[in-house]
A = this chain, B = another copy of it.
Amino acid sequence: MAEQVILREVGLRDGIQMAKCFLDTKHKLDWALRSQAAGIREMELTSFVPAKVVPQFADAEELAKYLPQLSGIVASALVPNLKGAERALAAGFTHINYVLSVSELHSQSNVRRSTDEAIDEFKRIVALKQTEAGKNMVLGVALATSFGCTLQGHVAPERVFEVANIVAAGGADELIVADTVGYGNPVEVKALLEPMMDIAAGRRVVCHFHDTRGLGLANVAAALDVGVRVFDTSLAGLGGCPFAPGATGNINTEDTAFMLESMGYSTGIDIAALLELRCDVESWLGDERYHGAIARAGLPKTFTMNS
């Protein structure tokens, strides 16, 4: 029996947050349902940011109404602050991913708070978790720009570990280590993730890589080497970054599933079904950058899925 690796599909959140067109709720639901049917077991479904900041997520509450149809999936929502966490809980989400940037400049740019102020907000979300309303909350904390930042450049690993220790000790259920701008390489991935597994002390550790500079899958392989078994991925490698013209988005779901299955891990994902879904997503979204080698070259003749 092959060892399992979980790919958490983030196309409906990270993938479309910069898309030029608003993807209507019906298509978002179709994407989620067909991902579920294709074997995806976790999805970040939407984001509770103010609609005036990211109009794409104006229908977050509306989409949440369909959560009962998605019972085969662990559906999570991103939140930038306490207010977002309250909205997500009220809408019916239990899995919440709070983003906290380790880079001071990125944190200020993203949420107009210093990293320390963002840690204070994390503590307020933990306080919410301890109320009746929040008692079922599973709280992931994403450490954004853990491998560097397009604004401030270098981000000290010591600071990443310091923040990780604070959130792990302070009530986070899961640590999401994010290479927000695609700066990391396999050596740095091992150097950062090995201590992170210790800091997590049994909590789940998720890697969130962007393929901006082509090292996404090499970084996945490095993270596997130090024990990471959950990765954020995006259908068609969708996404982008306002600070990196021409950049790709998250690592590609289809390609990551292909690599993992080839390496002997089991993802449960039907890659052919994802490629069909991808075609429809392209027709819905129109002019975006779609990435991925398997969509271009096909699966090898020698490919078989693991079970």
- In the complex, the answer to whether B301 meets A211 with C-beta atoms within 8 Å is no
Q: Which of A183-225 contact B (CB under 8 A)?
A: 183, 185-188, 211-215, 217-218, 220-222
**Interfacial residues, chain A to chain B (CB-CB below 8 A):** 148-150, 153-154, 181-183, 185-188, 211-215, 217-218, 220-222, 244-248, 252, 255, 258-259, 262-264, 292-294, 296-302
User: A281 vs B217: C-alpha distance in the bound complex, in angstroms?
Assistant: 28
In angstroms, Cα B297 to Cα A298, docked, is 25
Report whether B301 and A148 are in contact in the complex, using a CB–CB cutoff of 8 Å: yes
B residues within 8 A CB of A302?
A: 148, 153-154, 183
Give the distance to chain B from A189, nearest Cβ to Cβ, in Å: 10
User: Given that A248-B293, A262-B185, A293-B211 are contacting pairs, would A148 and B300 also be in contact in the complex, using a CB cutoff of 8 Å?
Assistant: yes
Would you list 14 pairs from A and B whose C-beta atoms are within 8 A, ordered by A residue?
A148-B302, A149-B301, A150-B301, A153-B302, A182-B297, A185-B259, A186-B221, A187-B262, A213-B300, A215-B259, A218-B259, A221-B222, A244-B298, A247-B297
**How far apart are the CA atoms of A264 and B258 in the complex, in Å?**
28
Of residues A247, A294, A301, which shows the largest number of chain B Cβ atoms within 10 Å of its Cβ?
Answer: A301
Contact A300 B222 (CB under 8 A): no
Q: In the complex the two chains form, what is the Cα distance from A64 to B163 in whole Å?
A: 59
In the docked arrangement, what's the CA distance between A262 and B222, Å? 14
Q: In the complex, what residues of B have CB within 8 A of residue A299's CB?
A: 213
Contact of A246 among B150, B222, B264, B296 (CB under 8 A): B296
Give Cα A215–Cα B252 distance, bound, in whole angstroms. 12
The answer for the CA separation of A149 and B300 in the assembled complex, in Å, is 9
